[in-house]
Amino acid sequence: MRFTEDHEWLRIEGDLVVLGITEHAATQLGDVVFIELPETGTEVTAGEEVAVIESVKAASEILAPLDGEIVEVNDELAETPGLVNEDPLGQWFFKMKVDDLSAVETFLDAAAYAALTD
């Protein structure tokens, strides 16, 4: 698992990159009440807004970590957004097909992410 400085986690599953938010992000947001997910088949560019999370405290965007195509979304989160508060590392937002899976290795490892959030 790798992490972005925007408090997202990335995991490689086969030839896909799976994305969710970290426990730190879920704690900072508070109770999540709405999640807007991207459409399957959407082509995204790294740094582009892909999804929106709204909580009782704030609204936040999820940015695409890499260039690619959204191939699957977690509809369960859209229907029950509070699941992300219960298990941030177990609830994924979307899966994407990227050109270069090795690019995931350029993101923070667990130790570097822990240092960022301390």
CATH classification number, 2-97, choose in 2.40.50.100, 2.70.98.10, 3.30.70.1150, 3.40.50.300: 2.40.50.100
Q: What b/e string do you get for 14-40 counting C-beta neighbours within 10 Å, with b at 16 or more?
A: eebbbbbbbeebbeebeebeebebbee
What is the predicted pLDDT for the residue at 47? 95
What is the predicted pLDDT for the residue at 107? 97
The predicted-structure confidence for 43-92, as pLDDT tens digits, reads as follows: 999 999 999 999 998 899 999 999 999 999 999 999 999 999 999 999 99
How many other C-beta atoms are found inside a 10 Å radius of the C-beta of residue 7? 21
**Dihedral angle at the C-alpha atoms of 96, 97, 102, 106, nearest 10 degrees?**
-30
What is the predicted pLDDT for the residue at 79? 94
Write down the domain spans for the chain.
Answer: 2-97
CA distance 4 to 107: 6
| pLDDT exceeds 90 at position 8 | yes
The band of 99, judged by pLDDT with boundaries at 50, 70 and 90, is: confident
Average pLDDT, the chain: 95
CA distances from 118 to 8, 54, 67, 114 (A): 16, 24, 29, 6
CA distance 72 to 18: 9
Tokens coding 108: 């923070």
CA distances from 79 to 29, 37, 76, 97, 110 (A): 18, 11, 5, 24, 30
